Amino acid sequence: MCDTSQKFCSCRRPGIEEDHPHWTVRKVDRDQRKETGFLGEKIARRYLEEKGWRIRETNWRTRLGELDIIAEQDGWIIVVEVRTTRSHRYGYGFQSVDRKKQQQVRRLATQYLRQKHLDHHLVRLDVISILLGPTEEAVQVDHFEGAF
């Protein structure tokens, strides 16, 4: 048995994930992050649709990663990275789109455009940062057009 007072432990016995306090916390954290992200993407889609944008794809996946939202407006293809937080405790959502993430989004956008035969379109990469309130409503939505 591990010392449950420590944040991380070295127990990795098969079958203990469900009962083990550390594994349970990690699973809950992961589920919470996933739910937060899903909710943020839903809010971002609605925000863009209200602006008159046409949503082409959501959660477009390849083995290299995922593009959150791919939209179209006035002949432009716009790839939107959505970042959702429940507080500004660790900074604003858009601040977490680091250079590595930007490179990944660029690569995936290029792959998407080639696959869909949209190479001739103008392309823009945006970030939408969403802050959720205590009742999971959008308290703040910041849209950074041409963010990178």
> Yes or no: is domain 21-144 CATH 3.60.21.10?
no
Nearest to 128 by CA among 90, 99, 88, 96: 96
How far apart are alpha carbons 68 and 61 in whole angstroms? 9
Q: Quick one: pLDDT band at residue 4, thresholds 50, 70, 90?
A: low
For residue 102 the two structure tokens come to 């930007």
More confident position, 84 or 20? 84
pLDDT of residue 133: 94
Instruction: Answer yes or no: is pLDDT of 117 > 90.
Output: yes
pLDDT of residue 16: 46
Q: To the nearest whole number, what is the mean pLDDT of the chain?
A: 87
Question: In the chain, pLDDT over 90 holds for what percent of residues?
Answer: 70
CB 107 within 8 Å of CB 64: yes
Q: Give 23: exposed, middle or buried? Use CB within 10 Å, 0-12, 13-18, 19+.
A: middle
Q: Quick one: pLDDT band at residue 42, thresholds 50, 70, 90?
A: very high
How far apart are alpha carbons 5 and 22 in whole angstroms? 10
Instruction: Answer yes or no: is pLDDT of 99 > 80.
Output: yes
How far apart are alpha carbons 61 and 65 in whole angstroms? 6
For the chain, the structural domain boundaries read 21-144
Instruction: Answer yes or no: is pLDDT of 58 > 60.
Output: yes
Instruction: Answer yes or no: is pLDDT of 77 > 80.
Output: yes
